Structure 1
């Protein structure tokens, strides 16, 4: 074959591959245009507790940002959280003062290397650890990946703001790994695991293991593993789910901090001490050092499920701890999911104790020593409290708070001068596949979520609108579709009577509409009460379906580990048929 023929063949293959990839990512049908987006939080707790000039709110990350881990290099703090099947994986934040945080996006942002395309929303990756190693000036992020046969993986970088290296698979099982570097540069990994075969004593019996880590070759040293905690603080009391371990060194002693009690109402944080990283570890007599499990169910401004913590030395050499907790609504439902909180930590004695972590948690704290300005929500810093987030989708870079599910958002979005075009996949919101949905975490118990949609469906298989989603089997769909020659807005509820049953779909209501111009769609919540409305003039909103319960959007009802996600949704496989 001549060189010119080979070249033409190669060009044809490249062109075909590009066209094929483009056809998969771009529209399969009509593409809606979203614009004029507004999310507004309206929680009473923030109205009742205005900030003074030297205060800030906790949680510092509202919405589904659970399992925080934190590290420090100089004056730079980096914090990571779980993301499950959201994409990109493992959100990461940066701060100079523990108050004002910048959203850096996600650590695992290459779908060729991390692809949760076929997993349930609560799979993917969770319980990351992040550690700075001063001996080689390198940051390590370690996490368990429940997708693609990855298992426990580690990624590295010299600068978290500039991206991370490729995942390195580690040869051990279990979950919740974290990495620790001793003063001599030696590395160790601790993690949750099952007891040795045949030694499980009860349901929820777990152990903490340690491995020596080969820093030069980035692998655990075979045969170096050892169980350092069996069951928890007191095995005779049958403690459950000892997990999320972190190792620290202070005054020549080693401290192992873990979560205990499961990640629900009995959640807590406990601490152990040893002369060696390999133990034996002796529990503190003051355990737990953080919990909310002892207080009345109906207390005001309730914060619950506190645990899964990590410590860092903050401004003025004062210790702080980040941890997960929840803020249930008036019916004790957990729609905002597990969020990231912070408390100062008193480590003046032998063991650390979270300050005010054993009394009902308050919504605000004094800023760390030397921190003079609360910039949350300003100058690009992540907001908290009650805030408004608006987006016309006209900037070149989409805000990091917008995420995909089971795949990158870039596969289905196109930014135009008029707004954001969502190119619909032939997948439904209920499918265990990537869907063409741009998600934003619900960050308040009371909120409004409003957007303008320019869309004229060509068939009943096409729908564009908004969704409130706890998981693939528990969600509400509210959108524009077609029946015969007429256009409709339709509200569909997808849910399971029991978690092990198939998803049942119910049309709550539908309304015929005149689609002469773009429509505004709105979701609102007032605690457990959710409403869905539309407007043809941008002012007067018409309710569809009355008030519906947010029960199916709650973690403790629907199961799993995520909070509610609010989405801009388009599909070429609609099954929400107007009645």
Structure 2
């Protein structure tokens, strides 16, 4: 028998180590955010008020790209890319394609999502959700550029009850999608590189298909086949054929893909075959959706449309969800790729997005019999709206997300509000941050929060960040210089930081922090002791919060940011 005193000592050391680590992460006086208010005020919604039979598109504003949709009975489920955001793959439910409720995230555990050490635009790309009526199971297949995972699939009997851990799939490429045929057979299609030595030009890609073993949840080795080489017309050197989906209608197999890259040449194209593995013949009227041909200065511009998925609507008519962008007055993309919807005419041989080949309008007709309840009864808002969060509910709204790690690792709901315990990590590091994020959803908006915080050292900071990535962001927060509280505004571009302004403040009680934008013009301000808001740093450019400047695939995020590794030092 082992020495009992040594065993007891080992247990005590272990307990002390765990509690000691916890206490180091637990700040003595952690920041408390007692309220956050987001207000959107875009002119397009004032100019285009809704009639009773209309709703707005995009249906999801802000960074909800790469939509995929499926249906079981009267239930629709839709998912989106989430990159290094945590939890991953937001999932929405609807009964009518107009009114949507977020029911959670598909990847909500560390065992499913391993993005702790990756840049914000890596991680989760292009999820595909599909219901298989053959075994009454939902599948979500996706590429995870993190954790050594690659392509993977998770599944569930009920999307409202959580999803399995991942099944790692043994093939390369990106943008996988599943197809379940009526005979019980299953297939995976995806984007890939051409066979080695056969790449003809930069951006040359192919679409591959594999047979899929549903018992093993794995592709069947040796069954892969290239079914599209390059795109609709290889002689025209089409780029980035991707995001494939197979649909079956009247005994024919239709392969729909994005083509042209995810920028201003983006489009959706379609092919047809008599068999799931081809050969596939392109439709004579491709593309079936694009915004690339129109004047760059058109009013209420929607651009980059593509990456679509189809579903039968409640009125027995097809609809397509897809990504698009709405650039601001400087043609910059700060709100990211958003989720749009259009009816689809499939009365002929091929589907065509209705009004998807002319400049898109901000509103469309609802399916017959539907009542628009957006922003009411728990349904997701769109158009112009105000969202107020007082952090009093036991369950924090799903719109609030972390970056690279669970929000539960750093936050707690208390009687005073939201308590964030700081990580020794600042916003520029490629690590989990102690930051709670909300997506920018409008060109014109303001975001205000109320903060109680007494920094203990110059390494402590709490406030707001506006973040496009770890290399492009603004930080506006309260820190310490000497024995005094200071506000500081920092701009980081290409990883290089510059203090734009700082101000000593005399605030023993709460401080109100605000960021507001009018298109490309952003401004940061503060208020103490019931006084009016005071600007700090003047008007600054939102350029670094745009995809055009920062690159990557995300939209701008507004964060409640806390750190004990602050490097934004007041001047």
- Please state which band the TM-score falls in when normalised by the shorter chain: over 0.9
**CA shift in 2, pair 1:150/1:20, >3 Å:** farther
Whole-Å separation in 2 of the counterparts to 1:317 and 1:11: 64
Whole-Å separation in 2 of the counterparts to 1:69 and 1:233: 22
1:488 to 476, 486, 497: 486
1:382 corresponds to: 380
- Equivalences for 1:251-330 in 2 at 5 Å? 251-330=250-329
SS for the counterpart of 1:224 is coil
SS for the counterpart of 2:44 is helix
Give structure 1 stretches of 5+ with no counterpart. 497-502
Is residue 456–residue 515 contact of structure 1 (8 Å, CA) maintained in 2?
A: no
2:19 corresponds to: 19
Bigger mean CA deviation after superposition, 383-392 or 109-118: 109-118
Runs of 4+ in 1 over 6 A off after TM superposition: 2-7
Bigger mean CA deviation after superposition, 115-124 or 3-12: 3-12
1:500 corresponds to: none
CA-to-aligned-CA distance 1:23-55 (integer Å, 9 cap, x gap) = 47x425641100121000000001111111111
SS for the counterpart of 1:315 is coil
Does 1:572 pair with 2:571?
A: no
Whole-Å separation in 2 of the counterparts to 1:60 and 1:111: 29
2:339 corresponds to: 340
1:407 corresponds to: 405
Does 1:525 pair with 2:517?
A: yes
- Give 1:556 shift: 1.1
- Give 1:485 shift: 1.3
CA-to-aligned-CA distance 1:346-389 (integer Å, 9 cap, x gap) = 00000000000000111111111221x11111111111100111
SS for the counterpart of 1:509 is strand
Is residue 507–residue 529 contact of structure 2 (8 Å, CA) maintained in 1?
A: no
CA-to-aligned-CA distance 1:317-345 (integer Å, 9 cap, x gap) = 11000000000001100000000000000
Is residue 144–residue 153 contact of structure 1 (8 Å, CA) maintained in 2?
A: yes
- Give 1:564 shift: 0.1
2:166 corresponds to: 167
Does 1:455 pair with 2:447?
A: no
CA-to-aligned-CA distance 1:131-172 (integer Å, 9 cap, x gap) = 100000000000000111001000000000000011000000
Whole-Å separation in 2 of the counterparts to 1:265 and 1:346: 24
Whole-Å separation in 2 of the counterparts to 1:10 and 1:459: 35
1:331 corresponds to: 330
Is residue 94–residue 101 contact of structure 2 (8 Å, CA) maintained in 1?
A: yes
- Equivalences for 1:3-402 in 2 at 5 Å? 8=8, 12=12, 15-16=15-16, 18-19=18-19, 22-23=22-23, 26-28=25-27, 30-371=29-370, 373-402=371-400
Give structure 2 stretches of 5+ with no counterpart. none
**CA shift in 2, pair 1:356/1:462, >3 Å:** same
Is residue 84–residue 122 contact of structure 2 (8 Å, CA) maintained in 1?
A: yes
RMSD value, Cα: 1.5
Whole-Å separation in 2 of the counterparts to 1:17 and 1:256: 56
Is residue 101–residue 382 contact of structure 1 (8 Å, CA) maintained in 2?
A: yes
Is residue 315–residue 370 contact of structure 1 (8 Å, CA) maintained in 2?
A: no
SS for the counterpart of 2:315 is helix
- Give 1:4 shift: 6.8
Does 1:553 pair with 2:549?
A: no
Is residue 30–residue 462 contact of structure 1 (8 Å, CA) maintained in 2?
A: no
1:542 corresponds to: 534
Whole-Å separation in 2 of the counterparts to 1:23 and 1:349: 66
1:499 corresponds to: none
Bigger mean CA deviation after superposition, 105-114 or 49-58: 105-114
Whole-Å separation in 2 of the counterparts to 1:479 and 1:461: 12
**CA shift in 2, pair 1:275/1:9, >3 Å:** farther
- Give 1:87 shift: 0.5
SS for the counterpart of 2:486 is strand
Is residue 111–residue 165 contact of structure 2 (8 Å, CA) maintained in 1?
A: no
Bigger mean CA deviation after superposition, 552-561 or 106-115: 106-115
Whole-Å separation in 2 of the counterparts to 1:482 and 1:233: 60
Whole-Å separation in 2 of the counterparts to 1:21 and 1:533: 36
2:422 corresponds to: 424
Whole-Å separation in 1 of the counterparts to 2:159 and 2:23: 34
- Give 1:466 shift: 0.1
- Give 1:539 shift: 5.0
Whole-Å separation in 2 of the counterparts to 1:9 and 1:125: 44
Is residue 37–residue 391 contact of structure 1 (8 Å, CA) maintained in 2?
A: yes
Whole-Å separation in 2 of the counterparts to 1:302 and 1:469: 24
Is residue 452–residue 509 contact of structure 2 (8 Å, CA) maintained in 1?
A: yes
CA-to-aligned-CA distance 1:369-416 (integer Å, 9 cap, x gap) = 221x11111111111100111011111000000000001111100110
- Give 1:113 shift: 3.1
**CA shift in 2, pair 1:9/1:173, >3 Å:** farther
CA-to-aligned-CA distance 1:281-335 (integer Å, 9 cap, x gap) = 0000110000000001111100000000000001121100000000000110000
Query: What TM-score, normalized to structure 2?
Result: 0.98
CA-to-aligned-CA distance 1:105-139 (integer Å, 9 cap, x gap) = 21111113312011000001110100100000000
Whole-Å separation in 2 of the counterparts to 1:75 and 1:164: 21
